[in-house]
């Protein structure tokens, strides 16, 4: 039986509407072999603008 290899991504944004200026602010990924975590990545992203304090507080 072969082990399934996959990568799960998570992206955090400052809102849901790119047309309103909302941007990606954080990205993460986890590499899996079966159910075992074999790698991780996490990075904050500079959105290039001032963030709404309400979005940051979430």
pLDDT digits (tens, 9 = 90+) for 7-58: 999 999 888 888 888 899 999 999 999 999 999 999 999 988 888 787 777 7
Of 52, 39, 56, nearest to 5 (Cα)?
A: 39
Where in the chain are the domains? 5-57
Answer yes or no: CATH 3.30.420.10 is held by domain 5-57: yes
What is the torsional sign of CA 11, 16, 19, 21?
Answer: negative
Q: What is the pLDDT of residues 8-18, one digit of tens each?
A: 999 998 888 88
């Amino acid at each position: 039986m072969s082990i399934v290899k996959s990568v799960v991504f998570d992206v955090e944004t400052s809102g849901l509407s790119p047309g309103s200026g909302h941007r990606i602010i954080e990205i993460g990924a986890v590499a899996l072999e079966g159910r075992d975590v074999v790698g991780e990545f996490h990075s904050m992203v500079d959105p290039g603008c001032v963030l709404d304090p309400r979005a940051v507080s979430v």
